[in-house]
Amino acid sequence: MTARAETLIELLITQLVQQAPALAPHVIEELTTALRANGAPLALSIAIVVELVAAEKVDAGIALPALAMACGTLVDPRLTEREREAARFEIETLLPVPEKLVQLSRGPRPLP
């Protein structure tokens, strides 16, 4: 990843955090485009959660601080792949659980 791409990702996530709760669609689009262009597993996970925040499927107040930290991890050249993988795991915990899994976790349904 180029220094310009790293700077762009940090700039855009900072804009989202500062502008919250208003989320500018053009910032969302630019950020997800830059993250997908990066292609790293962490970048792709961040892009998915950013899109879910924009669609109001994930709470921005909860997700944005974690997304900002994950973006920082993504672009920090001092960090290892192990640290990036840990950040990816943390970000993916923000993904919504499909309803079928929620039903399974509640146990069997009562008989009619």
Asked if the structure places residue 112 within a domain, the reply is no
Asked if the structure places residue 110 within a domain, the reply is no
Domain count along the chain: 1
Ramachandran quadrant class, 76 (left: phi over 0; alpha: psi -120 to 50; beta: rest): beta
Asked if the structure places residue 82 within a domain, the reply is yes
Asked if the structure places residue 12 within a domain, the reply is yes
CA distance 49 to 30: 14
Asked if the structure places residue 66 within a domain, the reply is yes
* CB atoms inside a 10 Å sphere around CB 81: 10
Asked if the structure places residue 111 within a domain, the reply is no
Asked if the structure places residue 10 within a domain, the reply is yes
pTM: 0.83
Three-state SS string over 43-84 comes to: HHHHHHHHHHHHCCCCCHHHHHHHHHHHHHHHHCCCCCHHHH
pLDDT digits (tens, 9 = 90+) for 36-71: 999 999 999 999 999 999 999 999 999 999 999 999
| Domain enclosing residue 60, as ranges | 3-105
pLDDT digits (tens, 9 = 90+) for 59-110: 999 999 999 999 999 999 999 999 999 999 999 999 887 765 545 555 555 5
